[in-house]
């Protein structure tokens, strides 16, 4: 049982029946008051708490806090599931020009929050380290608390990149698909390139520390999910974001199965979570799985609504924006990919012409699960999100029934798994959940009430 404020408790269908018939016992009525499910009146403290948390769960930052920048679409690799349909390394007219950089700095000055994060994506953004350096330097002057993430395939760990990394606000994010064999198969195609990648990854970790390097896998073979986790562990990487191939870009042709393989993915993912719970119980070097952390935060940290792939409402271009190699704006990276393959034009303006407010407003009408028929009747609504771009991508319409979507089925499965584990009160899970929420592998006071041991 949940309410809009995200309070919850576990109960049988008999309780539902009794509530319907208005025949509950006095002790259960007291329990409902205590849990913020019942109120004497709207002036009560309980109601204020309920109203505050309900509002907090729907609050989204009203200034740009995260800008994803694509200084070039060119890339020196050709991964089988490339989401963006990258351009070849020698292609012309796929890079930001100087004018775009200048306009971008003005744009940041006018619209960005003081706590700004800029992520450089591609293509391979390190092909234009000159642009990255200029943006880092200029933005740091006008928004000194800004942080930067360079997403790179780490085929080159050049002197210029090392110089940029002297700035402690710059982090590295890379793709590591698992074993060397798998990484070669999916990404580099040549073992020599894979060796180069692993050498560079070790070197960058040595130079700037694990805390400034993150890696993400794309799981193309679900049977190998445990091997992926073990590879991360062996590299000293404590966080892994388990994600299947995204049904975008080149993947639409080369990984057609990724459109509808949600059941298989859920099975593999849940098995991996069980493995991580066991691993954390016995190993000193603990593992955090990013997806699990995101879902747990959605339950226990109301107000943390910055993750655009799982929140509701999910307003377009309000706190998050993608700026493509040609200066055009997109609501998300997936949206730019859909536009690139010609499925639908989701461009919402440009650095030169500003925001296309009409288009943004029309997209925003569907970006709230409060208005969705299925979500209105779902107990997970306060924690879940809405993603019309994924709907358009997979089903070519926003009107596809939500309960049948990949998005709904996956998130419902993850939340259900989490609540199932909480209802069992297994201490090993509670410690792993505490680790994901607070960084320490010990039962946190906030979760102590679930402990059945
Ligand atoms: S699990 Fe599905 S029905 Fe429930 S809120 Fe999420 S998207 Fe909506």
Residue 85 has pLDDT above 70, yes or no: no
Tokens 């999916």, residue located: 186
Residue 48 has pLDDT above 90, yes or no: yes
Residues 307-327, mean pLDDT to the nearest whole number: 95
Cα 312 to middle of ligand 1, angstroms: 11
Query: CA-CA distance, 383 to 363, in Å (whole number)?
Result: 21
- The confidence band for 93, taking pLDDT boundaries of 50, 70 and 90, is confident
- Rounded to 5°, angle at Cα 450 from 374 and 272: 65
Query: CA-CA distance, 179 to 408, in Å (whole number)?
Result: 31
- The confidence band for 404, taking pLDDT boundaries of 50, 70 and 90, is very high
Q: Which domains, from first to last, does the chain contain? A: 1-57 (no CATH), 64-357 (3.20.20.70)
Residues 76-100, mean pLDDT to the nearest whole number: 74
CA of 188: how far to CAs of 154, 191, 198, 233, 241, in Å? 11, 7, 11, 22, 20
Q: Which atom of ligand 1 is nearest to the CA of 385?
A: 6
- Bond prior to 313 in cis (omega within 30° of 0): yes
Query: CA-CA distance, 255 to 452, in Å (whole number)?
Result: 43
Query: CA-CA distance, 86 to 152, in Å (whole number)?
Result: 14
Cα 446 to middle of ligand 1, angstroms: 25
DSSP result, 117-149 = EEEE-SS-GGGGHHHHHHHHHHHHHH-TT-EEE
Residue 192: how many CA atoms within 13 Å on its side-chain side?
0
pLDDT tens for each residue of 348-387: 999 999 999 999 999 999 999 998 999 999 999 999 999 9
pLDDT tens for each residue of 414-447: 999 999 999 999 999 999 999 999 999 999 999 9
**From 411, 413, 415, 419, mutation site for ligand 1 pocket: most ligand atoms within 8 A of C-beta:** 411
Cα 121 to middle of ligand 1, angstroms: 30
Q: Which atom of ligand 1 is nearest to the CA of 412?
A: 1
Cα 395 to middle of ligand 1, angstroms: 17
Residue 256: its pLDDT value, please?
Answer: 59
Residue 269: its pLDDT value, please?
Answer: 96
Residue 247: its pLDDT value, please?
Answer: 62
Nearest of 154, 158, 118, 123 to residue 136 by alpha carbon: 118
- The confidence band for 92, taking pLDDT boundaries of 50, 70 and 90, is confident
Residues 242-254, mean pLDDT to the nearest whole number: 68
C-beta of residue 186 within 8 angstroms of C-beta of residue 79? yes
Residue 189 has pLDDT above 70, yes or no: yes
Residue 254 has pLDDT above 70, yes or no: no
Residue 105: its pLDDT value, please?
Answer: 97
Query: CA-CA distance, 438 to 39, in Å (whole number)?
Result: 31
Q: Which atom of ligand 1 is nearest to the CA of 372?
A: 8
Residues 205-231, mean pLDDT to the nearest whole number: 93
Residue 182 has pLDDT above 90, yes or no: no
Residue 249 has pLDDT above 80, yes or no: no
Residue 126 has pLDDT above 60, yes or no: yes
Residue 444: its pLDDT value, please?
Answer: 94
Residue 329: its pLDDT value, please?
Answer: 97
- Bond prior to 337 in cis (omega within 30° of 0): no
Q: Which atom of ligand 1 is nearest to the CA of 384?
A: 6
Q: Classify residue 263 as exposed, middle or buried by CB count within 10 Å of its CB (0-12, 13-18, 19+).
A: exposed
Residue 248: its pLDDT value, please?
Answer: 58
DSSP result, 54-86 = HHHHT---SSEEEEEE-SB-B-S---TT-SS-P
Residue 251: its pLDDT value, please?
Answer: 53
CA of 185: how far to CAs of 15, 176, 181, 188, 353, in Å? 53, 12, 6, 7, 42
Dihedral angle of Cα 377, 379, 384, 386, to the nearest 10 degrees: 0
Residue 46: its pLDDT value, please?
Answer: 87
pTM score, whole prediction: 0.92
- Rounded to 5°, angle at Cα 243 from 87 and 322: 45
Give the residue with greater pLDDT, 412 vs 259.
412
Cα 1 to middle of ligand 1, angstroms: 14
Burial 266-301 (b: 16+ CB within 10 A, else e): bebbeebbebbbebbeeeeebbbbbbbbbbbbbbbe
Cα 5 to middle of ligand 1, angstroms: 16
Residue 83: its pLDDT value, please?
Answer: 55
Cα 405 to middle of ligand 1, angstroms: 9
Query: CA-CA distance, 113 to 66, in Å (whole number)?
Result: 9
What residue owns the CA closest to ligand 1's atom 1? 412
What residue owns the CA closest to ligand 1's atom 2? 408
Pocket of ligand 1 (CB under 6 A): 369, 372, 374-375, 378, 380-381, 384, 402-403, 408, 411-412
Cα 380 to middle of ligand 1, angstroms: 6
Q: Which atom of ligand 1 is nearest to the CA of 374?
A: 3
Cα 384 to middle of ligand 1, angstroms: 6
C-beta of residue 149 within 8 angstroms of C-beta of residue 117? yes
**From 295, 312, 395, 403, mutation site for ligand 1 pocket: most ligand atoms within 8 A of C-beta:** 403
Residue 110: its pLDDT value, please?
Answer: 95
What residue owns the CA closest to ligand 1's atom 8? 375
């Amino acid at each position: 049982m949940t309410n809009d404020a995200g309070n919850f408790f576990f109960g049988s269908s008999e309780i539902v029946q009794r509530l319907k018939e208005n025949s509950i016992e006095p002790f259960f009525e007291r329990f409902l008051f205590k849990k913020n499910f019942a109120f004497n009146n709207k002036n009560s403290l309980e109601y204020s708490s309920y109203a505050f948390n309900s509002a907090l769960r729907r609050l989204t930052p009203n200034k740009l806090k995260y800008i994803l920048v694509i200084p070039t679409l060119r890339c020196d690799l050709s991964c089988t599931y490339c989401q963006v349909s990258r351009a070849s390394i020698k292609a012309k007219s796929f890079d930001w020009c100087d004018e775009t950089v200048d306009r971008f700095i003005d744009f940041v000055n006018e619209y960005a929050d003081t706590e700004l994060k800029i992520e450089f994506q591609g293509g391979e953004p390190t092909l234009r380290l000159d642009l990255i350096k200029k943006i880092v330097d200029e933005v740091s002057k006008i928004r000194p608390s800004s942080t930067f993430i360079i997403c790179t395939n780490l085929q080159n760990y050049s002197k210029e990149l090392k110089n940029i990394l002297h700035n402690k606000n710059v982090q590295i994010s890379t793709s590591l698909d698992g074993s060397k064999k798998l990484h070669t198969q999916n990404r580099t195609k040549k073992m020599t390139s894979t060796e180069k990648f692993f050498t560079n990854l070790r070197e960058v970790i040595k130079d700037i520390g694990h805390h400034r390097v993150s890696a993400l896998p794309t799981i193309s073979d679900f049977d190998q999910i445990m091997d992926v986790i073990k590879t991360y562990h062996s590299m000293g990487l404590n966080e892994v974001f388990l994600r299947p191939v995204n049904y975008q870009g080149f993947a639409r042709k080369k990984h057609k199965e990724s459109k509808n393989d949600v059941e298989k993915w859920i099975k593999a993912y849940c098995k991996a979570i069980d493995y991580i719970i066991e691993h954390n119980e016995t190993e000193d070097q603990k593992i955090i799985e990013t997806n699990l952390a995101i879902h747990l935060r959605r339950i226990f940290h109301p107000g943390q609504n910055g993750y655009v792939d799982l929140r509701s409402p999910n307003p377009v271009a309000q706190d998050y924006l993608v700026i493509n190699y040609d200066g055009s704006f997109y609501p998300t990276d997936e949206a730019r990919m859909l536009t690139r393959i010609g499925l639908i034009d989701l461009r919402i303006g440009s650095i030169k012409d500003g925001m296309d407010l009409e288009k943004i407003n029309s997209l925003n009408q569907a970006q709230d699960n409060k208005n969705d028929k299925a979500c209105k009747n779902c107990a997970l609504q306060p924690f879940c999100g809405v993603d019309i771009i994924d709907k358009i991508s997979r089903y070519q319409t926003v009107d596809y029934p939500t309960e049948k979507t990949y998005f709904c089925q996956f998130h419902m499965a993850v939340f259900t798994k989490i609540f199932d584990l909480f209802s069992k009160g297994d201490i090993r899970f509670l410690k792993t959940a505490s680790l994901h929420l607070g960084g320490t592998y010990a039962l946190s006071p906030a979760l102590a009430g679930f402990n059945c041991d």
